[in-house]
């Protein structure tokens, strides 16, 4: 229970951080351009906490899935009140209007003067005075709505639409940009802590205790040869191990304490198209290791300890036979796998991922692991330069995923992760260690930045498209049309959000 609470707190913190940084970017550049910001909100839905500081209402809302900065000039209607409307007016000592009460029937305000709006100008083009009927309206006056909600009026010079194209560009782009800045800062920290692999040597720097090498090889061993082939760099080691991923006994000759030793290691074979792997130590027996329920294998019904007998009615006599069966199934055609479970023989139908999908994720169709890694060395200057590459790699992963949504029929919207999925990934990253958690936070921040730059209405990228239209045509787009498109797409995105969240919950409880 304590772990769950910690995971929830960390999830809210991480999601809140990347959203806060994003909205802070919008807010800072808007304030710098003297744009009136009505509200700075973290989260969506009902208000948990709010406080007005001068002209801006700062709020924390119940659902930690987003946030927004409400800027003056982004509304569909230019005026909140119109001629013929009844309002109550609050005056200062100089008979200037400081509050316009829209909720004029509220008994809380019945002591204030009730008037019918006959003429009004609350924009003040060319810095002309604002007025309502014969009264002057202060440029920082407030509207008062139901439940005493207040909103400062927005003269033209405080409006988003009145600013230069460059100022508006900065106010829009600053949100995603700040996400990239946050990610860069985190990647620099990670690179400073972790360092960089020395690929020019064959000395072991890390041994995974849960992998085959854990009890056989030790840090500091210098690998001289693998299966009789001399190796001189870490690239040589990788190439030799990848050459025959189904080898069941890999012979390492290492230099340990000045003495050469020969050590046989049985790798674990991973089959990424279906998501299962060989049981540790399984040489001739085709026994599966732990099977994640979210993988193709897990959803088909395969379990840890199952022994593979046949694939598509062809007897499997070795792991090489199993690898060949999956390597030959390039397009992800449904396969029948017969296994021995205890004393029962069971058959399962499974549709692997096609090879293009697996390769696009930087994986191999079949790959073996022994659990070794090179020495990592500290490099101060490279930590900074490499962090830009980390952002580029993270962004490329997102575009690859988006491409797969449209080009690969094995990937659909239901496979995307919403808040519940992000919570699940955050929990796993946290359990994997501090570095894994930091890396995931950076990736999430890049994700938010990239997604918001997509040219879709309701996102920052959509607003930049309209700004680009204005730059090219020298004409401002119709505000009503633009905001209607933003609102309509917002509703569609909320529907998509609900759908993705529903699928997240199904996956979380393993009922699909």
Alpha carbon separation from 291 to 76, 98, 266, 276, 300 (Å, rounded): 53, 67, 19, 6, 11
User: 98: exposed, middle or buried (C-beta count within 10 Å: 0-12, 13-18, 19+)?
Assistant: middle
Do residues 353 and 323 make contact, with C-beta atoms less than 8 angstroms apart? Answer: no
Please tell me whether residues 202 and 114 are part of one structural domain.
no
Please tell me whether residues 415 and 470 are part of one structural domain.
yes
Q: Look at residue 109 and tell me if it is in a domain.
A: yes
Per-residue pLDDT of the chain (512 residues; tens, 9 = 90+): 677 788 888 888 888 899 999 999 999 999 999 999 999 999 888 899 999 988 899 999 988 778 889 999 876 566 788 999 999 999 999 999 999 999 998 988 999 999 999 999 999 988 899 999 999 999 999 999 988 888 999 999 999 989 999 999 999 999 999 999 999 999 999 999 999 999 999 999 989 888 899 889 999 999 999 999 999 999 999 999 888 888 889 999 999 999 999 999 999 999 999 999 999 888 889 999 999 887 889 989 999 999 999 999 999 999 999 999 999 999 889 999 999 999 999 999 999 988 888 887 778 889 988 999 999 999 999 999 999 999 998 888 878 777 766 665 555 555 555 565 666 667 777 777 889 899 999 999 998 999 999 998 889 999 999 999 999 998 888 878 887 888 787 777 767 666 555 554 555 444 33
Please tell me the number of Cα atoms within 13 Å of 483 on its side-chain side.
10
Q: Look at residue 381 and tell me if it is in a domain.
A: no
Residue 7 tokens read as: 């995971």
Please tell me whether residues 277 and 261 are part of one structural domain.
no
Q: Is the dihedral of CA 123, 127, 132, 137 positive or negative?
A: positive
Please tell me whether residues 397 and 470 are part of one structural domain.
yes
User: pTM for this structure?
Assistant: 0.84
Contacts of 132 (CB under 8 A, 6+ apart): 87, 89, 97, 100, 115, 117, 119, 120, 122
Q: What pLDDT score was predicted for residue 510?
A: 45
The string over 467-483, giving b where at least 16 C-beta atoms fall within 10 Å of a residue's C-beta and e elsewhere, is beeeeeeeeeeebeebb
Question: Which residues sit opposite 335 in a β-bridge?
Answer: 350
Helix or strand run (H / E) with residue 9:
helix 2-32
Query: What DSSP state is assigned to residue 282?
Result: -
Q: Which residue has tokens 């294998």?
A: 297
**Cα distance between residue 150 and residue 309, in whole Å:** 72
Please tell me whether residues 279 and 261 are part of one structural domain.
no
Do residues 165 and 468 make contact, with C-beta atoms less than 8 angstroms apart? Answer: no
Q: Look at residue 60 and tell me if it is in a domain.
A: yes
Do residues 498 and 419 make contact, with C-beta atoms less than 8 angstroms apart? Answer: no
Q: What pLDDT score was predicted for residue 281?
A: 87
From 132, 152, 172, give the residue that closes a domain.
Answer: 152
Q: What pLDDT score was predicted for residue 290?
A: 92
Cα 346–350–353 angle (5° rounding)? 155
Question: Which domain, by its residues, includes 24?
Answer: 2-75
Q: Look at residue 174 and tell me if it is in a domain.
A: no
Backbone angles phi, psi at 156, to 5 degrees: -55, -35
Helix orientation angle between 419-431 and 479-508, rounded to the nearest 10 degrees: 50
**Cα distance between residue 44 and residue 42, in whole Å:** 7
**Cα distance between residue 319 and residue 368, in whole Å:** 11
Closest CA to 114 of 129, 124, 104, 122: 104
Query: What DSSP state is assigned to residue 129?
Result: P
| 294 labelled catalytic | no
Please tell me whether residues 407 and 422 are part of one structural domain.
yes
Please tell me whether residues 26 and 53 are part of one structural domain.
yes
Q: Which residue has tokens 């609900």?
A: 498
Please tell me whether residues 451 and 398 are part of one structural domain.
yes
Domains in the chain: how many in total?
Answer: 5
From 152, 185, 208, give the residue that closes a domain.
Answer: 152
**Cα distance between residue 159 and residue 169, in whole Å:** 14
Q: What pLDDT score was predicted for residue 511?
A: 39
Do residues 372 and 204 make contact, with C-beta atoms less than 8 angstroms apart? Answer: yes
Please tell me whether residues 234 and 278 are part of one structural domain.
no
Please tell me whether residues 51 and 118 are part of one structural domain.
no
Q: Look at residue 33 and tell me if it is in a domain.
A: yes
Residue 252 tokens read as: 């390492």
The string over 116-136, giving b where at least 16 C-beta atoms fall within 10 Å of a residue's C-beta and e elsewhere, is ebeebebbbeeeeebbbeeee
Do residues 418 and 497 make contact, with C-beta atoms less than 8 angstroms apart? Answer: yes
Q: Look at residue 179 and tell me if it is in a domain.
A: no
Q: Look at residue 411 and tell me if it is in a domain.
A: yes
Please tell me whether residues 491 and 441 are part of one structural domain.
yes
Question: Which residues sit opposite 152 in a β-bridge?
Answer: 142
Please tell me whether residues 256 and 288 are part of one structural domain.
no
Cα 245–251–253 angle (5° rounding)? 130
CATH code (residue 347): 2.30.42.10
**Cα distance between residue 287 and residue 371, in whole Å:** 20
Q: Look at residue 223 and tell me if it is in a domain.
A: yes
Q: Are strands 222-226 and 204-207 parallel, antiparallel or unpaired?
A: unpaired
Per the residue annotation, which of 23, 74, 367, 482 is the catalytic one?
Answer: 23
């Amino acid at each position: 229970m304590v772990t769950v609470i910690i995971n929830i707190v960390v999830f809210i913190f991480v999601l809140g951080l990347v959203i806060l940084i994003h909205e802070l970017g919008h807010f800072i550049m808007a304030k710098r351009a003297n744009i009136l910001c009505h509200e700075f909100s973290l989260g969506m839905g009902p208000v948990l906490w709010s406080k007005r500081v001068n002209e801006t209402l700062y709020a924390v809302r119940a659902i930690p899935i987003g946030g927004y900065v409400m800027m003056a000039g982004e509304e569909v209607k230019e005026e909140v009140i119109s001629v013929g409307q009844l309002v109550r007016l609050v005056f200062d000592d100089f008979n200037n209007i400081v509050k316009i009460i829209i909720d004029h029937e509220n008994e809380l305000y019945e002591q204030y003067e009730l008037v019918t709006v006959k003429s009004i100008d609350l924009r003040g083009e060319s810095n002309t005075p604002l007025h309502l009927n014969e009264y002057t309206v202060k440029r920082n006056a407030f509207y008062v709505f139901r439940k005493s909600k207040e909103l400062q009026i927005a003269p033209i010079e405080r409006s988003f639409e009145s600013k230069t194209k460059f100022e508006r560009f900065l106010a829009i782009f600053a949100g995603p940009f700040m996400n990239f800045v946050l990610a860069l800062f985190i990647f620099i920290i990670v690179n400073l802590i972790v360092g960089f692999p020395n690929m020019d040597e064959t000395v072991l720097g890390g041994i995974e205790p849960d992998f085959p090498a854990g009890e056989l090889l030790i840090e500091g061993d210098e690998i001289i040869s693998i299966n009789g082939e001399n190796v001189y760099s870490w690239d040589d080691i990788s190439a030799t191990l990848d050459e025959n991923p189904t080898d069941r006994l890999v012979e390492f000759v290492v230099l340990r304490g000045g003495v050469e030793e020969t050590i046989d290691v049985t790798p674990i074979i991973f089959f990424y198209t279906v998501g299962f792997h060989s049981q540790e130590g399984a040489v001739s027996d085709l026994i599966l290791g732990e099977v994640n329920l979210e993988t193709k294998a897990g959803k088909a019904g395969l379990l840890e300890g199952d022994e593979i007998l046949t694939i598509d009615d062809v007897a499997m006599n070795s792991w090489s036979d199993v690898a060949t069966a999956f390597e030959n199934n390039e397009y992800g055609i449904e396969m029948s796998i017969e296994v021995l479970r205890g004393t029962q023989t069971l058959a399962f139908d499974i549709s692997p991922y096609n090879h293009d999908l697996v390769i696009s994720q930087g994986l191999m169709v079949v790959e073996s692991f022994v659990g070794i890694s090179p020495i990592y060395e500290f490099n101060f200057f490279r930590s900074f330069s490499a962090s830009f590459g980390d952002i580029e790699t993270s962004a490329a992963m997102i575009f690859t995923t988006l491409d797969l949504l449209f080009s690969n029929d094995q990937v659909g919207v239901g496979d995307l992760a919403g808040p519940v999925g992000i919570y699940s990934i955050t929990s796993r990253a946290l359990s994997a260690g501090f570095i894994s958690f930091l890396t995931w936070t950076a990736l999430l921040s890049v994700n938010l930045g990239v997604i918001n730059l997509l040219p879709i209405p309701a996102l920052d990228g959509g607003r930049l498209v309209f700004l680009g239209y204005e730059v090219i045509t020298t004409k401002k787009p119709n505000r009503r049309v633009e905001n209607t498109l933003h609102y309509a797409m917002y509703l569609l995105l909320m529907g998509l959000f609900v759908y993705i969240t529903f699928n997240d919950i199904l996956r979380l409880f393993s009922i699909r």
